[in-house]
Structure formats: structure tokens, C-alpha cells
Structure 1
Amino acid sequence: MSTTTSGDQRGFLRRLIPPTGLSRRLATQSALFATGESTFMTGSAVFLTQVVGMSPGKVGIALTIMGVAEFLFAYPAGRVVDRFGPRRMWALSTVGRAAAFLALPFVEGFGAYVGVAIVFAIFGSIGESSHQAYVYDVLPRGERVETQAYMYSSLNVGHTLGAGIGGLALATGSLDVIQWTPVFAAAMMLANAFWISRLPAAPHDLRAASGERRTRPTGPGPLRNPGWILTTFFMGVLWTNQTLLQVVIPLWLVVATDAPDVLLAWLFGTNTVLCIFLPAYTSSGVRTINDALRYTYVSSAFFIVSCVITMITHSTVGLITVLLVWLGHVTVTGAELAISGASWSFEAELSDPDRRGEYQGVQQVSGALGFQWAPALYTFLAFSWHGGEGWLVIAAIIVAATIGIRPSVRLAERFRDQHFPEAADETPTEPRVVMPTPDQAGPTPDPLEPA
């Protein structure tokens, strides 16, 4: 009995470690990036108001401008990634973010910060398209979802480490320390860029370096693929579980229940722990498009249960309220974990292998259209009914998106089979990592390639 238990524990621990060398390197990259970003973000409210000197209203306007800029740059950024290769643009985007972080300690006032925020938006859009395009291009089909799960876990580890470092900076009570935390974030970004530049070249990196990608691929692009646009839009709606996690449930706890505010720390702590340890397990069942569709249904079920449980806490008291609010947060975390595996599968299986960056750019745009309205609408719905019945309307929105996802995916599959059937025919064991030949091992036009 004890031997079996010990073996199960060793198996559990082994499952937490990425199984291949490349997946471990990609997971390390995720941790480096998240550590740097979260170190700054933890104290960003203090930095922007007390160091930069903006009012809360101006902070909101600046961040809105940044969000709009990311939206506008998303599709052009995807085109650039396809043109110059995903690894090169991924590393370059990280260097660009490092430069923006280095500029932050010298920023004074609203106008200067908006200028830096737009730089963040440009390189953020390039980074989002390029890193996803690289992962799908370099990995065998059967490893894509699994590796994304490990990267997601590592991202949460990095966010936790970064929050701890940022918390230590805040604990000093010194604005001088807060002012220079972006320098640490920049150092992590530069280390990340170096790490990315040491990753193996993906097939499209080699084609870009050899001049094969000087012209655009033939055939229709993602803007003429209604199935892809609709699928990513509905996935954006299903990803509004993040709005519940980060905005609506915390506000509901504070305003509409008798639960103590300190419970917020337990909610976010539980979510972080689950998102570190469970993605490799929860995504392991995603092998086909049908698996991914099934996971969207599971995610929606968790989301709906969370809405119902949270609505009930308006009328409960004491320990029952605490337990139910916590359970509502756990179930919406289940929605997050389930939709993660589904979204990685859809992105890998339904996008054109010759236009990975362009497809990611369109995904950012349509996904934002399905997501960005949620904070305003969900908070209005949750708090506009005295008894909290607005939670049922939120659940109905998710039901509608769930109904719409299946025909959208089937439409995208038909488009794929007609216009890029090599993506559908790709076998799970097909080798996708392309290492340079001896003739290609010399100097390349990539300025980020280390000597």
C-alpha cells in the first residue's frame, strides 16, 4: 500500500516537470517573462500615481489608450511575424519591452507615460503573435497542447515570484525603490530575450532567413476565414471567466456579501496554486478538435455553476457565505483550466501553418471583441438586480457562446480542409523542429542571434 502511494507521489511530481528539453526551455522562458512583468505590475498603482504623478482617472485613460493601441496593432503585428520569422520577432519584442521598462523611471506626467504605453502596446502585440506562432510551428502536433499547459503553469509560477518581489519593494515604503523596480523587470526581459534567441529555429524562421518569405503565401488569409473569426470571438466570450475571477467576484464579495475582505487573498491564492499544478493534468485529454469542443462544454458548465453559487451568497451569512464564495471562485477556476486546453487546440489545429502570425493577429482582434466588453457589462448585470439575478443573465451569455462555438469550429475545419489541408493531414509524430544545417550554422541576418 505504501509502495503504491509512494509511486503515485513520484508520478505526480514527475508530471509537474516538462517532459522534453524544448518544453522545459519554453517553460523557463514563461517564468522569466512573468517574473519581470509581475514585479512591476504589483506596485504599478503606486508607481503611476506617486512616481509618475497621474491621477487615478488619468491612469485609467492611459491604460485604455494602451489597450486600444494593442487592438489596432494586433493584425499588422501578425503580418510582420510571418514576414521575418517568429523566433526573431519574439526576441525583438522582448528587447522592445525591456527598453520601455528602462524608460519608465524617467517618465513624468501623463503625456510621457502614454508615449511609453504605446511602445509597450506595439511590442506586446508583436510578442503575443510571435510566441504563439513559434510554439505551434516548432513543436510536433502531439506536443503542442501539453507544452502550452506547462508554459501556462510556469507563467503562474513567474507571476507568483514577481508578486513576491514587487511586494518586498512595496514593503520598504520607499518611492525610490518603487521608481527603480522597472529596471529589474527590464533585466528579466533581456534575460528572456537571450533565452529566446537560443531556442532552435522553427521552420518559418529558416525560411525567412533564406528569403523564402519575401512574398506572402498564396490563398485566402484569416480575414476571409469566417469560421476562424467566429471561433476566436466565441472563445473570447468564454474567456470572460477571467472577468469573474479578477473583477466581478471580488467586487461582489466586498459589496454584496458579509464575507470578510481578507478572503480575497485566499481566493487569488487558490486560483494561483491550481493554475500552477493542474494545467498539465486538465489539458492531457485534449488530442483532437472534438476533445477541445468537449472541454468548452466542461468550461461552460463550471462557469454557469459559479454564477449560480455566487448569486446565492447574496442571501447567506457567516461561514456558509465564506465557503460558497470560495467554491464559486474554485469553479470558475475550473472554467479557466478547461478552456485553456481547448483554446490551445483550436489555435494549433485551425490556423494556417503558413500564416501562423497573421492568424494570431486576427485572433487577438476577434478575441478582444468577444472579451473587452465584459467588465462593464458583467458588473452592471451582477449589481443591477437587488437579489443578484443578473448572474443568470451572465450565465445565459455563456450558454449562447457555447451554442455558437460548435458550428463555428466546423466552419473553420471546412475552410482548413479546403485551403490548407496539410494542417489537417499532419500526423502527431511529424517532426517539426528544424535545426540549422552546417551551411546554415554561420552568420545569419538575425541581429539577435548570439555570437
Structure 2
Amino acid sequence: MTNSLVPPAGPQRVLALAQLSNSVGDGAYYVTSALYFTHVVGLAPARVGLGLTVGWAVGSVVGVPLGRLADRRGARGTAVLLALATGLAVASFLVVRDFVPFVLAACAYASAQSGLAAARQALLAGLVSAGERTGLLAHLQATLNAGLAVGAGLGGLALHAGTRAAYLGVFAVDAVSFLVCAGLLLRLPPVTPRAAGVSRRYGSGVLRDRPYAVITLLNTVLLLRMPLLSLGIPLWIAERTAAPTWLVSVLFVLNTGAVMVFQVRMARGVTGLASATRAVRRSGWVMLAACAVFAL
């Protein structure tokens, strides 16, 4: 079943649909947010970058206790609440007009997003057998990128219009997409909470696993591809070139579409630790080459 483009019916498909629903809104948000906050709200690009950096730094820290909360209080209920919180945080961008509210909204958005990602991992671990998880993760990543591509196309329409109303419509769509995500997550069966003592031992055990901690740290560097796509390239196109702003959407659709097409196919070769290590190593070199091209 993992070779199918659609996950099997049941929890796997519901998780994929939930991923798809909010990724459509996120795709529109990613391609428009940088230009909205700089061109419409009037924040300096450096301040937008600083605010997003602070937001995601806070989110990466807050995501740990929120993930532990999902273990102890139940992954489904926690995921639903965090999806609603993310939608509320996105909606708060509708009224942001200054730097400090922008930073606070960015922190709330990143924290809720990080916690939601952790709660989804707990749901996956509790509802899907170990042998099916790699295939489902590939499906979820492909689904994520399919939604991002569709959302980026919608964001391109807002970029072409270039009006405040068009940009605000994007944020409204993103907020609603998380409400839909919460409704879909409610359809999943509950996951038995992990005992408090087990959760603490598990968390401390991860921190003591130095190779895993190092790999996680290195992976955060690789994750810089997202602000490159959603912040660096849009601002560069708008400020340093004569290209139309909707080109931001085209590039984002191209990126996410390529991942959507090849993600599941590439994951089929990952069958154990050795093959996973090789895949990560190859991906790192490819990303290094891509970033070198961007720099030139």
C-alpha cells in the first residue's frame, strides 16, 4: 500500500487529509507574508527577519513541553487544541500593524505550529504500526507539498493583485485551514496517554543520545531552506530584481511540486539506518549545491 499515491483508508488517510488541509493555507501564507509585512504593514525587511527568527527560536523551545503534554494528556486532544491555537495565531496577523505585535504573533504562531507537529508525531506513533511509518511519513511529506503548491498558487493571485484585501484574504484562508485540520483530527481514534514517568525517561533518554542530538542540530540547519524560500527569495525578487512578484509563487509551486512527485519514490529506498544515513548525506550535499547556486 505504501507504493500508492493515496494512503490506506483509516487513520493514515485522515492524517494525510489533515496535513493537506492546513498546508494549503500555509502555502499561500509562505509566499505572501514577507511582502505583506514589508510592503503593506511597512516593517523593514531586517525587522521581519528578526521577528520570524525570534518566533521560530521560541517555537523550537516551546515545542518540547508541548510534545510532552501530548504524550501525557492525549495526542489527539492536544493536536486539536494546537491546530485551533495556530489558526488563532494566524488570524492575529490580520490586526498586526507594528513590530512588537508582529513578534508576539510570530512567537504564538511558531509555538503552536511546533507543538502541533510534535502532537502529530505522537498520533502517528500511536495509531500506525512501526513497519508502516516510513511509508506514511513519505506520503505525509508529499501531501504537505501538494497542499503548499496549491496554496502557493492562491498566494500568487494575491501577489498579482497586490492589495491589502488580497493579502488579508490569504491570512483568513490560512486560519480557516487550521480549523478544518482540527475537525479532521477529531475523527481520529484517541491515543492512550503515556505515563508521566515514562515520558520523562523518554525525553531525557533522547537528550543523552548524543549522535541523535547532533543529527537533530544539523537538521535544523537544513531546515533553513524554508525561510530561504518564504523570506529570502521573495524579498530578493521584490527588492533587487525587475521580475513580477507573482514569480515568488511560481518558484514555490515548482519546488513543492518536485517534492510531491519524487518524495514517496525516494523514500522507498530507505529501509533501515544505513540507507537513511546515506539519504540524509546525499540530501545535504544537494542542498549545499543549491544554496551555492542561490548565492551566485
The aligned counterpart of 1:296 is 277
* Alpha-carbon distance change, 170 to 268 in structure 1, aligned in 2, over 3 angstroms: closer
2:171 to 182, 199, 208: 182
**Matches of 1:174 and 1:272, distance apart in 2:** 25
Cα deviations by residue, 1:228-267 (Å, 9 ceiling, x for unpaired): 343142144256455579749x98xx9xxxxxx9999987
**Matches of 1:107 and 1:246, distance apart in 2:** 20
The aligned counterpart of 1:272 is 256
**Matches of 2:104 and 2:260, distance apart in 1:** 35
Which residues in structure 2 correspond to 1:304-383 (within 5 Å)? 304=285, 310=289, 329=290
The aligned counterpart of 2:79 is 90
Q: Secondary structure at the match of 1:199?
A: coil
**Matches of 1:265 and 1:130, distance apart in 2:** 30
> Which structure 2 residue ranges, 5 or more long, are not aligned?
237-242
Q: Secondary structure at the match of 1:43?
A: helix
Decide whether the 8 Å contact of 1:104 with 1:182 is kept in 2: yes
**Matches of 1:299 and 1:116, distance apart in 2:** 33
Paired residues in the alignment total 283
Instruction: Please tell me the residue identity of whatever aligns with 1:122.
Output: S
Instruction: Please tell me the residue identity of whatever aligns with 1:30.
Output: Q
Point out the structure with max Rg over C-alpha. Answer: 1
> Which structure 1 residue ranges, 5 or more long, are not aligned?
1-10, 208-212, 255-260, 311-328, 330-377, 389-451
How far off its partner does 1:105 sit?
1.3
Which residues in structure 2 correspond to 1:94-173 (within 5 Å)? 94-173=83-162
* Alpha-carbon distance change, 203 to 306 in structure 1, aligned in 2, over 3 angstroms: closer
**Matches of 2:94 and 2:54, distance apart in 1:** 20
Identity, in percent, stands at: 24
**Matches of 1:242 and 1:98, distance apart in 2:** 23
Instruction: Please tell me the residue identity of whatever aligns with 1:36.
Output: G
Matched, 1:220 2:185: no
Between Structure 1 and Structure 2, the one with more helix by share is 2
Q: Secondary structure at the match of 2:42?
A: coil
Matched, 1:57 2:46: yes
**Matches of 2:53 and 2:212, distance apart in 1:** 25
* Alpha-carbon distance change, 78 to 149 in structure 1, aligned in 2, over 3 angstroms: same
**Matches of 1:269 and 1:32, distance apart in 2:** 17
Instruction: Please tell me the residue identity of whatever aligns with 1:280.
Output: V
* Alpha-carbon distance change, 230 to 176 in structure 1, aligned in 2, over 3 angstroms: same
Matched, 1:234 2:223: no
Decide whether the 8 Å contact of 1:94 with 1:127 is kept in 2: yes
Decide whether the 8 Å contact of 1:100 with 1:120 is kept in 2: yes
**Matches of 1:108 and 1:267, distance apart in 2:** 28
The aligned counterpart of 1:32 is 21
How far off its partner does 1:64 sit?
1.8
Decide whether the 8 Å contact of 1:34 with 1:162 is kept in 2: yes
Cα deviations by residue, 1:336-364 (Å, 9 ceiling, x for unpaired): xxxxxxxxxxxxxxxxxxxxxxxxxxxxx
The aligned counterpart of 1:393 is none
How far off its partner does 1:297 sit?
1.7
Structure number with greater CO (CA < 8 Å, separation at least 6) is: 2
Instruction: Please tell me the residue identity of whatever aligns with 1:46.
Output: L
**Matches of 1:306 and 1:94, distance apart in 2:** 30
* Alpha-carbon distance change, 298 to 193 in structure 1, aligned in 2, over 3 angstroms: closer
* Alpha-carbon distance change, 238 to 174 in structure 1, aligned in 2, over 3 angstroms: closer
How far off its partner does 1:21 sit?
2.9
Decide whether the 8 Å contact of 1:238 with 1:300 is kept in 2: no
Decide whether the 8 Å contact of 1:23 with 1:150 is kept in 2: no
Instruction: Please tell me the residue identity of whatever aligns with 1:234.
Output: I
* Alpha-carbon distance change, 19 to 171 in structure 1, aligned in 2, over 3 angstroms: same
Instruction: Please tell me the residue identity of whatever aligns with 1:277.
Output: V
* Alpha-carbon distance change, 59 to 284 in structure 1, aligned in 2, over 3 angstroms: same
**Matches of 1:77 and 1:284, distance apart in 2:** 31
**Matches of 1:237 and 1:104, distance apart in 2:** 31
Decide whether the 8 Å contact of 2:149 with 2:253 is kept in 1: no
1:283 to 256, 267, 274: 267
How far off its partner does 1:88 sit?
0.8
How far off its partner does 1:304 sit?
3.6
Decide whether the 8 Å contact of 1:222 with 1:228 is kept in 2: no
Instruction: Please tell me the residue identity of whatever aligns with 2:197.
Output: R
* Alpha-carbon distance change, 301 to 181 in structure 1, aligned in 2, over 3 angstroms: closer
Cα deviations by residue, 1:78-102 (Å, 9 ceiling, x for unpaired): 2221221111111111100111122
* Alpha-carbon distance change, 267 to 64 in structure 1, aligned in 2, over 3 angstroms: closer
Matched, 1:201 2:190: yes
